[in-house]
Structure 1
Amino acid sequence: LTITLEPVGYDELRERHGSNVRQRLNPYIDFPGQIPQRRIVVFDAVFETSLSNIDVQIREIKLGIGGQVGNAASVEYLNNLWKGYIKETPWEATIPAVTRRTMLPREFSVLPGEPAIGYLVFAERYPKEGGAGLLEIPVITDKGDRGTLEYEMYFTENGIDAEAPEANTGIFAQTEEESADS
């Protein structure tokens, strides 16, 4: 299993989806007055496998920042957060269309040669100033094997500094020999 995660910053999100002005409401920017007290964190994500089928459930993926832990957002969850702001506006149809087109689905399977590609999104009450972070991605194979991939990161007010994973669990756990070699 290979998971590629690339943080998508506000500038890139504005370029891709608009800047919340002049009828270009961006579902991934926590614009003042919209989705209050939420920090939206977006990753370009690619899940690939070469051997086993892998099942992933979005709401089981967790991200902790500065002691605050939250689950990954489903399309429905993010659309529900925006519902009160877009009701009876021109964005009532466009925001859900953008999130459905760009986000990973609530549940998906990764098959050999068929990667899952989309945004992995978190919209929780994370501290705006950032802090130490941990991303945990639990997966299960078609044979019932389970494991959790963990990625340590440091969040700033405007971005993310990722580090190499150190302690994965289950089928992704490193043996003592592998740890000594790295």
Structure 2
Amino acid sequence: MGIVGWSPASAADRTGPSVYLEAGQTLEDGRDTTTSTIGLRLPMQRTFWDGRVTGNWDLYLSEWRTRGLAGQRRHYTQIGVVPMFRYRFDAGQSPWFVEGGIGVSHMNEPYQTASKRFSTQWNFSDHLGLGRNFGSARQHELGLYIKHVSNAGLRRPNPGETFVQLRYGYNF
């Protein structure tokens, strides 16, 4: 239907919900924080740009683990929601994709390590990934994601934290 029009979901993208698991660690500061995530992906049920781009809502729950200082919290819980937009190569038919989105997240306490301290529990969550579907019906998915969490400078300090994560997903 064109670059700005809407069209039915592409054959390469399954239109049902999916679940995913992620694991990763921080990129800076000695890689002292790891994260584990379980997520639910809900499709927006529409595509645009002739089926090359699809939209999904990612709802997730993560646990961050850090070495921390003595007497300091070492586990943090994060919940978030991110609208994600996925581009498929080969006119929307390729098993390969790139995707990205910016959403919001909330942590049970402001995050703190020996070298960083978040000033807020509410933060923005930026996600960028590269992945591939596989399986007889492309029901499996593997991806590599970079995620950055910060409050976008709304309150100081705002050091942010960036993770590299490996994702496995299963589409229903």
TM-score (norm: length of structure 1): 0.31
**Could you say which structure has the higher strand fraction?**
2
**Could you say which structure has the higher helix fraction?**
1
TM-score (norm: length of structure 2): 0.33
Which protein, 1 or 2, shows the higher relative CO under an 8 Å CA cutoff with sep ≥ 6? 1
